[in-house]
Structure 1
Amino acid sequence: MELATLRFVESVLSALAVGLLLLPRLIEEDGARFKKPVAAAAVLRLLLGFGLIVASARNIIPAGRPLDSAALLQFIFGTLIGKAWVATQVLAAVFAAAALLRLRVKNLWLDRATLGLGLAVLAVVSVTGHAVDDSLPIYTQLSFPFHTLAGLTWIGGLLGLVYWMITGRGKPPEEAWRLAERWSLVAKAAMVIVLISGLVLAWETVGSFGFMLATPYGRLLTVKLALLCAALLLALSLARYLTLAGSKKSFDFAWYGKIGGFEGACALGLLFIAGWIATITPAAHETNVYWPLPFRVTWAGTWGLKVTPWIDPTWQWGVAGAALAVVAGLAWFAPALAAAMGFAPLPRLRDWRKYSTSALALAAAVCGTVSLSVQAYPETYTDPPIAYTAASVKRGYETFQANCIACHGVTGEGNGPMAKGLPVAPADLTAPHVATHTLGDIFHWLTYGGQSGVMPAFADTVTEDERWDLINFLTVLSNSNQSRFLSPKGVIQWLVAPNFALDDPKGEIDDVEKLRGVPTLVSFARCKPEEAGFADRVASLNAAAETVKAMGAHHVTDYFGECPADPSALTPSHPDATELTYSLINHYLDEPVVNEIPEGHFLIDRSGYVRARFRHFGTDDGNLALLKAQIALTAKEPIVYVSPHQH
């Protein structure tokens, strides 16, 4: 909180200085009466920057180590954020020097240069926060300075405008009107930049809509958005005043300054939260996840499933919401409809429609939300602490076999030996509906028991890590039905390839995820010379190896028996676990489920999705040509970074 408070004060000083520099330029005023406040704000911001360096160092240096000069120097010159602070302070020092020089020198170009330096100071505020994360995409890193520059310019100009209105009541009303009108244009442009860059940043730092309420970062961002909406409503009233006021000569300094002050208060609250957000973990990387509501809104889990008309509550609430929305629209246009039909307008009809339309719209929104809602739990948006790997899937498979097959069956289709005697049929864990639940929902049911009350709680019999391993297994199992349609012709990106460890003689690549960026063919085979078709299988494996090498793709082989070795291929560290995991998505239509892969090849694209599956490469089946085409296609596609835990 200390660091957030210091950042807030620093930002206010910088923004106010820029606002007082900018506003006079809008109406060609010399701004002489603002020179001292600008200089004072610039110098105070510079001095406060040194305190921020110390506070940032204390926030990063381990608690057990004293913050002495050596530790401070190590932070300043040995960390990226420390170097960013030094660069920011240098720029702030130049800005302060220019602001002080303006007290003695009256020069238009000096004023312009000082304003430019101030804007630069506002822009670089972001590089001392999350923007220094070099793992972020370049468009996100560029969005940070644009977001802070536009936002702080708006806040600084707004505060400066209020200050101008308070201190400039002796000015002609026409001049105040002109300033307000021109500032309105600047504020609108700044808001457009803030909204666009804010959406880009939220996309990268929040991760999902659920994290807006499930994480500290998201909850602060939600409050920030609420304050922004309040500020925009107040800004709308100011803009409406300029549009509807009768005369420029009747400009009301007091009213405009008061409403502007309220907007400024919202802006300051927003700025404080922004400074706070800059010091905490982004929602997308947060491990302290807690969902506070008993429900969540989801399309996939409601209307995305088969909805039965008249009977299903989802359908009933949805239709009610749509009907109320239509009635709200009719109520809003009631005066116009009455006039069009020749009825005399009722004096109170226009006032009545405001309240009725608002009430009906609110009721429609509530009904729509209910129709899209499903039950949720505190763990709903919790992300698994256990990596999504073949080793974890194998452990989850073993836990499933030991605890779940009596009801859910060996294949997870809900057909276990105890299933018929249960009051509620066990869920088919291979069905598409499984993907509509979050992994946190499944963890909750495994821990505390299922929704129907039939499935018992496993908190006392299965450890937490085993439950997450089981969820990783269920993630693969839930894809088994859809994966039957994988073919050599390729599919869209939907199936994330389970990760697994690799043995690399060079020690450079330790798992499949490290191969992303280039298409990878993962080949499985069991070769026994005494079996029929051994020669064909060997020829198929050799053809696959030669094709992959010729196309510049990676090759991973998980072979058992006397299969031909590919010298350029990598091999899994845990071949049994890898084969078991991929056997779950190696199902074919009308064929029994087996946990071994006699021969199978999975093409993984640059982003880590399974895109095609080949059973065999024969001389005349065309599969080699399809493999070449799929490798060439996926090699050109852009990389999409997606969490493997997203269904």
Structure 2
Amino acid sequence: MQGVVSFAVGDPAAANAPLLLPPPPPDPLSTPAPVDVALRWLTALSLVLAVGSLIFSLTVWRSELVPDADVYESLSDALRRLAFGAALAGIIVAGGTLLRASPTAESSLLFTITGSRIGLVLMARLLLAAALAGLLRTAGTARSRWALLVGLGGLLTISWLSHSAVPQTASTSIQSGIATAASIAFDFVHLVATAAWIGSLPALMLVLLALRKRGGKLHGALVTLLVARYSSLATAAIIALAATGTIAALRHIVGIGELWTTTYGRALSIKLLLFGALLLIGGYNRWWLKTESVTSSTLSRAGLRQLRVNVGLEVALSVVLLLAVGVLTASPPARDAAQTGSDFAETVAVRDVALSLQVARDDLAGDIFAVTARGLPTDVQPEVVIRASMPAHQMGEQELELREVEPGRWGARAPLLTMPGPWQVETIVRAIGMNDVRHTFIVDTTPTSAPSTAAFTLPVWALILVLAFLGVALCQLPLGNTWQHRFQLGSLVMLLGAFMAAVSPYYFTRATEPSNPLSATPEVLAAGQAVYQRSCVTCHGVGGKGDGPAAQSLPGLPADFTQPHFATHTDAEVYGWIKGGKPGTAMPAFGEQLSEEQIWQTITYIRQFYLDAQQAAR
């Protein structure tokens, strides 16, 4: 006769404790509120347009490039008005966002502003947008520069309230603060690069429309020069966007499948597709202008018309791209959507029903099982049953009936999953008047060292490469150098960054690895010698020269502690070899035989072999 009998071990009162289900699994495809999406979209659109127009005016539209002073002054004023209009729109949107942030209708605006960090940042955004509009009311290069600084401050408020501002997980609060600040900084650079590229497109379009009526060879040559300078600006922005965007994607997405299984991932996919389309159109414009310049010294009216059409298409795609950014920032990151607050959670579609199973382990009175069913008919009263079995161990099937704890959620507590390994948990939802909804979930209770949704940590070498890419981006700015000089400088920066990234893991490891906490006192040396005589002398010899009795029978000679080469290895490296063994050699692991203090004592003792050899050589 075979069977399984389960026993609950723990506090008997826990069996009668109220059943608290884990939080319901988030819907990864939930749609954010349209008002929130619209506010975020318009915020990005207005500030990116204002900052982009100023960047275009200060880097691309230069007085020394325009021989006609009237044309320069007229279009400079038009660009200023464009940025001014965007700033006014930013004031309205910032005010709407501040009102939207009120917790309840009864909450005062003053409480919203002073009662939270979000309110303070939103108020700062409103004041910065107002200051930006004030600076842009009248013309002037100096005022434009101050306006650019204020506009950059407005972009920084977006980063302060973005996903990147969520505190980073780290071993200490200082490291967490540094990691969070770096994440905000990269997000800010991403926004500035967005403004420099797509925020400058309407300014370029405005110049093209203004020069349409003027025509002439002079203005055709001016357009060619402006597009070339804008291409340098766009190249710098695209490099920065690629570097910082990759960091954000790695941080917020766990797996590639989340690009189409979560709202955040789908918005990111649309953004990437639009990004690629803009790259193709921009690349085509650059190639087409280069071809035109070879066949003709200036652009014809037809050529200018075609360029305006292409740039107009880029502007339209940019507006849609920023809408995707609005959805992206209003949705929880895919990495957060995967965190359910339980040890197991999975949602499947069974016909028209979204069926979810959650298991919270390690409860004193057993595991907590929670089932959520969305999409059931409203006129039924379902019953929910789960059946757990482990075929690998020929364990019988155990059935558990769940009760409705919350509307649409059923739960129960029972010690069903008593052994580690993969369990088959069949979940059945049945009711009179409908077909059964059932699915078999595979719940693996094997202990794991860390959840798959652990926070993403950027390696030091990758951080150096990202900074190198940003350096290359700065080298591409149209600040007077020829494209050959910019290419050479960018190549030098990239080579230097690649070299530093290659050598940084070694030096970073040396700087952060633990050091020997013990000093070479007589007591420590005596304890280390005792361990050495017991565990090491057979191979390494009495004098530490690698000439012990068993040395000749080994596939490779043991380490000679008297040689300078061994002295170059750090105490942390030697500690790792003693504790875990040295791969590729006959050195075994002593981690289960020696305590941490004994290992450090042994290291302190074997260091004396080299010191004694050096003194004897003198």
When the two structures are superposed, what TM-score results if normalisation uses the length of structure 1?
Answer: 0.48
For residues 392 and 261 of structure 1, the distance between their equivalents in structure 2, rounded to whole angstroms, comes to: 65
Q: What is the correspondence of 1:117-128 to structure 2 with a 5 Å cutoff?
A: 117-128=150-161
Whichever residue aligns with residue 20 of structure 1, its letter is: S
CA 1:378 to 1:214, structure 2 compared with 1: closer, same or farther past 3 Å? Answer: farther
Q: Which of 586, 594, 598 is the matching residue for 1:625?
A: 594
Match of 2:85 in 1: 40
Structure 2 residue 204 is the aligned partner of structure 1 residue 235:
no
How far the C-alpha of 1:51 sits from its partner, in A, is 1.2
How far the C-alpha of 1:623 sits from its partner, in A, is 3.6
Whichever residue aligns with residue 14 of structure 1, its letter is: L
Q: Which of 240, 245, 248 is the matching residue for 1:193?
A: 240
How far the C-alpha of 1:447 sits from its partner, in A, is 4.0
Q: What is the correspondence of 1:592-611 to structure 2 with a 5 Å cutoff?
A: none
Match of 2:206 in 1: 163
How far the C-alpha of 1:234 sits from its partner, in A, is 0.9
For residues 248 and 28 of structure 1, the distance between their equivalents in structure 2, rounded to whole angstroms, comes to: 21
Contact 2:114 2:120 in 1 (8 A): yes
Whichever residue aligns with residue 404 of structure 1, its letter is: S
Match of 1:404 in 2: 389
CA 1:141 to 1:36, structure 2 compared with 1: closer, same or farther past 3 Å? Answer: closer
Contact 2:252 2:334 in 1 (8 A): yes
Contact 1:551 1:628 in 2 (8 A): no
Q: What is the correspondence of 1:430-579 to structure 2 with a 5 Å cutoff?
A: 446-447=426-427, 471-473=443-445, 475-476=446-447, 495-496=449-450
C-alpha offsets along residues 582-616 of structure 1, whole Å, 9 cap, x if unaligned? xxxxxxxxxxxxxxxxxxxxxxxxxxxxxx99xxx
Match of 2:49 in 1: 16
Structure 2 residue 71 is the aligned partner of structure 1 residue 28:
no
Structure 2 residue 314 is the aligned partner of structure 1 residue 267:
no
C-alpha offsets along residues 396-417 of structure 1, whole Å, 9 cap, x if unaligned? 99xxxx9425x321xxxxx679
CA 1:551 to 1:267, structure 2 compared with 1: closer, same or farther past 3 Å? Answer: same
Whichever residue aligns with residue 249 of structure 2, its letter is: A
Contact 1:224 1:270 in 2 (8 A): yes
How far the C-alpha of 1:93 sits from its partner, in A, is 2.0
Contact 1:146 1:193 in 2 (8 A): yes
Contact 1:287 1:383 in 2 (8 A): no
Whichever residue aligns with residue 311 of structure 2, its letter is: G
User: Helix, strand or coil for the counterpart of 2:167?
Assistant: coil
For residues 459 and 394 of structure 1, the distance between their equivalents in structure 2, rounded to whole angstroms, comes to: 23
C-alpha offsets along residues 210-237 of structure 1, whole Å, 9 cap, x if unaligned? 2111111111111111111111111111
User: Helix, strand or coil for the counterpart of 1:208?
Assistant: coil
Match of 1:220 in 2: 267
How many residues of Structure 1 are paired with residues of Structure 2 in the alignment?
Answer: 356
Whichever residue aligns with residue 471 of structure 1, its letter is: V
For residues 28 and 134 of structure 1, the distance between their equivalents in structure 2, rounded to whole angstroms, comes to: 42
Structure 2 residue 330 is the aligned partner of structure 1 residue 279:
yes
**Aligned-CA RMSD value:** 4.3
For residues 140 and 628 of structure 1, the distance between their equivalents in structure 2, rounded to whole angstroms, comes to: 39
Match of 1:79 in 2: 116
Contact 1:122 1:152 in 2 (8 A): no
CA 1:631 to 1:142, structure 2 compared with 1: closer, same or farther past 3 Å? Answer: farther
For residues 184 and 119 of structure 2, the distance between their equivalents in structure 1, rounded to whole angstroms, comes to: 18
CA 1:551 to 1:229, structure 2 compared with 1: closer, same or farther past 3 Å? Answer: same
CA 1:27 to 1:392, structure 2 compared with 1: closer, same or farther past 3 Å? Answer: farther
Contact 1:174 1:248 in 2 (8 A): yes
Match of 1:143 in 2: 186
Whichever residue aligns with residue 392 of structure 2, its letter is: H
Contact 2:132 2:151 in 1 (8 A): yes
User: Helix, strand or coil for the counterpart of 1:189?
Assistant: helix
Q: Which of 50, 60, 71 is the matching residue for 2:95?
A: 50
CA 1:162 to 1:622, structure 2 compared with 1: closer, same or farther past 3 Å? Answer: closer
Contact 2:41 2:326 in 1 (8 A): yes
Structure 2 residue 160 is the aligned partner of structure 1 residue 113:
no
Contact 1:392 1:472 in 2 (8 A): no
CA 1:49 to 1:447, structure 2 compared with 1: closer, same or farther past 3 Å? Answer: same
Contact 2:165 2:183 in 1 (8 A): no
For residues 384 and 161 of structure 1, the distance between their equivalents in structure 2, rounded to whole angstroms, comes to: 54
For residues 250 and 365 of structure 2, the distance between their equivalents in structure 1, rounded to whole angstroms, comes to: 30
For residues 234 and 276 of structure 1, the distance between their equivalents in structure 2, rounded to whole angstroms, comes to: 24
Whichever residue aligns with residue 79 of structure 1, its letter is: S
How far the C-alpha of 1:42 sits from its partner, in A, is 1.5
C-alpha offsets along residues 552-605 of structure 1, whole Å, 9 cap, x if unaligned? 9xxxxxxxxxxxxxxxxxxxxxxxxxxxxxxxxxxxxxxxxxxxxxxxxxxxxx
Higher relative contact order (CA 8 A, sep 6+): 2
Q: Which of 193, 197, 203 is the matching residue for 1:154?
A: 197
Unaligned regions of 5+ residues in structure 2, if any? 1-33, 64-72, 170-178, 341-346, 370-386, 398-418, 430-435, 453-515, 519-578, 581-588, 602-618
Match of 1:257 in 2: 308
Contact 2:196 2:233 in 1 (8 A): no
Q: Which of 250, 254, 268 is the matching residue for 1:207?
A: 254
How far the C-alpha of 1:98 sits from its partner, in A, is 0.7
Structure 2 residue 214 is the aligned partner of structure 1 residue 181:
no
For residues 145 and 204 of structure 2, the distance between their equivalents in structure 1, rounded to whole angstroms, comes to: 19
Structure 2 residue 185 is the aligned partner of structure 1 residue 132:
no
Contact 1:23 1:179 in 2 (8 A): no
Contact 1:17 1:118 in 2 (8 A): yes
For residues 192 and 101 of structure 1, the distance between their equivalents in structure 2, rounded to whole angstroms, comes to: 34
Contact 2:278 2:317 in 1 (8 A): yes
Identity value in percent: 20
User: Helix, strand or coil for the counterpart of 2:137?
Assistant: helix
Q: Which of 106, 115, 133 is the matching residue for 1:68?
A: 106
For residues 277 and 84 of structure 2, the distance between their equivalents in structure 1, rounded to whole angstroms, comes to: 31
Match of 1:3 in 2: 36
How far the C-alpha of 1:395 sits from its partner, in A, is 3.9
CA 1:628 to 1:123, structure 2 compared with 1: closer, same or farther past 3 Å? Answer: same
For residues 199 and 81 of structure 2, the distance between their equivalents in structure 1, rounded to whole angstroms, comes to: 16
For residues 56 and 451 of structure 2, the distance between their equivalents in structure 1, rounded to whole angstroms, comes to: 56
